[in-house]
Chains A and B, each alone.
Chain A
Amino acid sequence: MSKDKFTTLKTTAVPLPNENIDTDQIIPARFLKATTREGFGDNLFRDWRYDAENKPVPEFVLNDARYSGKILVAGKNFGCGSSREHAAWAIYDYGFRVVVSSFFADIFKNNALNNGLLPIVVSDQFLKQVLQAVEEKPSTEIVVDLENQILQVGAVKESFEINKYKKTCMINGYDDIDYLLSLNKEIREFDVANT
């Protein structure tokens, strides 16, 4: 399915410095029972966000009124663990469009890109700077320029890498199936030759 197009984004960010945030934290397994892609944002970081009585945990960053915006800034090895795409759906459904970290787990990164959620890998040093800037001044403006692959945070900026093909998909809202369907004839021949 075609997705939203992504070119530039100017917004504030939410800091979550924990390392190794796994997909069970992003969306616990007991909320994976839906058969559609919608509504997962309500349970994003469910067990950090709400206590056993379903009351918001005031110190958790998503419940902290000082922080808002369309960018989640997280510690390294974000999205490790389960392959559940529900994690990317939950982050997107909540309203984030970008996740910034110094390191992403492979499957999560693919899942994010397949859903119009941009994972931006920055250096450890720059991640530290971004987290510090946002924590000290939650209104810090962040600009994501996908075309030029630049992340600007207040006065500092860093360029980021993204695969050329995935970049084209993000900018135009394409998905992989469109491309694969165009290879139908070659795939049929391959299938027959290898049966």
Chain B
Amino acid sequence: MSQLKPKTIFEKIWDSHVVKRAEGYPDALFIDRHFIHEVTSPQAFDGLKKRGIQVFNTSRTTATADHNVPTKDQHLPIKEALSRHQVETLRKNCKEFGVELYDLGHAYQGIVHIIGPELGLTQPGMTIVCGDSHTSTHGAFGNIAFGIGTSEVEQVLATQCILQHKPKTMKIEINGKLGKGVVSKDIILYIISKISASGATGFFVEYAGDAITGLSMEARMTICNMSIEMGARGGLIAPDETTFNYIRGRKFAPQGEAFDRKVEEWKKLTTDEGASYDSVLKFDAADIAPMITYGTNPGMGMKVTDRIPTVAELKEISEQHSFTKSLEYMGLEPGSSLLGKAIDYVFIGSCTNARIEDLRLVADMVKGKTKASNVEVWVVPGSKQVEDQARREGLDKIFEAAGFELRSPGCSACLGMNEDKVPAGKYCISTSNRNFEGRQGPKSRTFLASPLSAAAAAITGRVTDVREFV
């Protein structure tokens, strides 16, 4: 018998989920866990109704309301008619098709990519999809997780499978010690600034190296979350003791001996010696500093102490038009520094950075301090469980004393679908994942940064090098 070909973790998981591989067709890939929410599911349920079919396996489907929900007065009916209709449609569909829904007011409600891991629904070796591009977050547990469109949501509801071509593989290795004030958000913003917003399109990424394995689960999730911001289908990290310890005892995780057996299986999820990737990139952790974006895509980022490039410094002439347009939108000058730039809003939230560790980082920094008078600060926890935990730890008191507003969970000002919008022309330093034009509200201007950098900016009212504080 010939030697088995060495495989990457990605290939092991993918190959073990192929229900049918036929010449001329994409693979029919079985999906272990399907998360749905109110915005990208209604048309998919409509499709099932038109075909007269049921959800294939309701026990593999979990729903929550997050994108379009208010973050104030969640106990009251949603004021905005279209938003209310969308959430009510989700309720109706979940009831009709028998799908578990963590609705507003439920102890497990929250941003879909935050509740999956915290409930133990997200596990190593799985295939996970959701009609949301930040599904890549779940990859932190060593699984294949990626965002899909509504037609694909319908496919998965109807058949528990999705037709997909296997993407290419990329390894991103980061070794070395992270500097003062540098957290996982800075690592991913740094990588994207190096390879651009399309640098990993067509690839599925595996993050490795001691700068990655040294991170907590929550910090790893921040990295995998933003894989899509460099175009990657997803990004994963090999599961290890940190992963197993995080999952142990969670609500929907295997319990007792079943858990131990699972861990033995999960330990096999490593990339084999000699397995090859289509692309390998290496970075040194010591080169990473607190990061900030200055433009209108996540690739337009720099160290907070750097200055914005000039048109002449751009790598490609074809970028000039978009670059100039982007800086005009942001109201910034090529070649200038952002340090000391006055800001108007601080948003601490989103599936990137709204877990309990993020809130603790912020609380540690602002304890005993107050926000600058020129800024409004919103802290939007990623889930009801995160909110409850924050209150139990007294973080709410610290935020209140600092003049920060602790809201109820949801996607909120990350995409401004609800009423949490940054006004036109205003600058917001945000822990979210996208600085696209109008993302946080029409004509709003976003600087992406870590929770630490956002907290520092909240105190000074300006773009700040967080290393002055830590």
Question: Interface residues, chain A, CB within 8 Å of chain B?
Answer: 1, 17-20, 22, 24-25, 28-30, 32-37, 47, 52, 75-77, 80-86, 88, 103, 105-107, 110-111, 114-115, 124, 163-165, 175-177, 179-181, 183-184, 186-187, 190-191, 194
Contacts and interface: CB of A to CB of B under 8 A. Distances in A.
B197 A183 contact: no
A179 B201 contact: no
Instruction: Indicate the member of A82, A124, A194 with the most B CB atoms within 10 Å.
Output: A82
A100 to B, nearest CB: 16
Given A19-B318, A32-B68, A80-B201, 17 more contacts: A25-B437, A33-B68, A33-B82, A35-B86, A36-B43, A37-B43, A47-B437, A76-B198, A81-B436, A85-B149, A85-B150, A105-B201, A107-B149, A176-B162, A179-B163, A181-B159, A187-B19
B151 A35 contact: no
A63 to B, nearest CB: 17
B46 A24 contact: no
B417 A106 contact: no
B133 A82 contact: yes
B161 interface: yes
Contacts of A47: 437-438, 442-443
B392 interface: no
B133 A107 contact: yes
Contacts of B254: none
A24 B437 contact: yes
Nearest to A164: B24
12 contacts: A18-B321, A30-B416, A33-B85, A35-B85, A80-B231, A85-B43, A110-B149, A111-B149, A175-B151, A180-B161, A190-B30, A191-B57
Interface string B1-44: 00000000000000000011000111010101000000110110
A34 B149 contact: no
Contacts of B86: 33, 35
A180 to B, nearest CB: 4
Q: Which 9 pairs show the lowest CB-CB distances between chains A and B?
A: A85-B149, A35-B42, A111-B149, A33-B82, A114-B151, A83-B147, A180-B159, A83-B133, A77-B198
Contacts of A36: 42-43, 46
A187 B29 CA distance: 9
Nearest to B165: A163
A141 to B, nearest CB: 26
A18 B85 CA distance: 35
A177 B56 CA distance: 12
Given A33-B86, A106-B167, A165 B436 contact: no
Interface in B296-348: 297, 299, 318-319, 321-322, 325
A83 B159 CA distance: 20
A35 B231 CA distance: 27
A187 B233 contact: no
A80 B322 CA distance: 14
B437 A20 contact: no
Interface of B: 19-20, 24-26, 28, 30, 32, 39-40, 42-43, 46-47, 50-51, 53, 56-57, 67-68, 82-83, 85-86, 89, 131-133, 147-152, 154-155, 158-163, 165, 167, 197-198, 201-202, 228, 231, 233, 297, 299, 318-319, 321-322, 325, 415-417, 424, 434, 436-439, 442-443
Contacts of A194: 30, 32
Contacts of B154: 177
A32 B39 contact: yes
A107 B25 CA distance: 18
A30 B67 CA distance: 10
Given A24-B436, A47-B438, A85 B133 contact: no
A22 B150 contact: no
Nearest to B133: A83
Contact of A77 (B131, B152, B158, B231): B231
B151 A187 contact: no
Nearest to B153: A85
Contacts of B148: 83, 107, 110
Nearest to A84: B40
A103 B202 CA distance: 10
Contacts of A105: 198, 201, 231
Contacts of A22: 297, 434, 436
A118 B56 CA distance: 30
Contacts of B25: 165, 179
A46 B151 CA distance: 23
B313 to A, nearest CB: 17
Contacts of A184: 159
A183 B149 contact: no
Contacts of A29: 67, 415-417, 439
Contacts of A75: 318, 321-322
Give the interface centre of A103, A163, A176 by most chain B CB atoms within 10 Å.
A176
B322 A186 contact: no
A25 B149 contact: no
A75 B317 CA distance: 13
Contact of B47 (A1, A18, A84, A179): A1
Nearest to A78: B198
